[in-house]
Structure 1
Amino acid sequence: MTNWVDIAALEDVPQRGARMVKTAMGCVAVFRTGEDEVYALDNACPHKAGPLAEGIVHGKSVTCPLHNWVISLETGEAQGEDEGRVATYPAKVEAGRILLDRAFLLARVAA
């Protein structure tokens, strides 16, 4: 059984934007697409640990603000010629609230 953590209202994250969310289990970057899909990833780009939450969201990708690496919001993988990956976490929206999977957050902290 999945135990979800309510972290914010969907409206707290702008469309095609992101927010860094601090939880008791650690910090994650939460992204919202133009279609109101929500994704959660580690905030550090696999290249030079750039703050992905400060990047530009386009489609289902985010471009790192430091060196323009493009990261898939769905898989966490760098796209194009760049190689690397960031961890992704299950996220969903229910009743206008963004929820993250507590078990995945706990695993992140334990790693």
Structure 2
Amino acid sequence: MTNWIEIGRVTDIPQRGARCVNTPAGKIAVFRTADNHIYAIENRCPHKGGPLAEGIVHGASVTCPLHNWVFDLASGEAQGADEGQVRTFPIDVVDGRIFMAPEVMMEAAE
């Protein structure tokens, strides 16, 4: 975890909620599930560009607030009859602190 950047604490994100991290390419949505798992995905739905951080978190999925597309937070894959995928980003949690690799933030800009 050398050089990883602390982006916040688990308690900064409400259960079944999200916060955004700004990167050179835009926002990465960081989610906390009801069972306190943390996931990071791009904050833009591939369907119509909806802000996924404003979606409803259920289980390990999020529903886009614009047109109800559902994405698996671990894989980024659309669920059900919808097709598509959002990028996922590795996150590490140590002692309640959330870390993201600096290269992830730069990769998002590419």
TM-score range, shorter chain: over 0.9
TM-score after normalising by structure 1: 0.91
1:18 — aligned with what? 18
Verify: 1:33 aligned to 2:33, yes or no: yes
Unaligned 5+ runs, structure 2: none
Unaligned 5+ runs, structure 1: none
After superposing on structure 2, the runs of 4+ consecutive aligned residues of structure 1 that deviate more than 3 Å are: 23-26
TM-score after normalising by structure 2: 0.92
1:85 — aligned with what? 85
The 1:65–1:25 alpha-carbon spacing in structure 2 relative to 1, beyond 3 Å, is: closer
1:44 — aligned with what? 44
- RMSD of aligned Cα (Å): 1.6
* Counterpart amino acid of residue 105 in structure 1: M
Percent identity for Structure 1 against Structure 2: 57
Q: Distance in 2 between matches of 1:50 and 1:84?
A: 14
Question: 2:107 aligns to what SS in structure 1?
Answer: helix
Q: CA deviation at 1:71?
A: 0.5
Q: CA deviation at 1:29?
A: 0.4
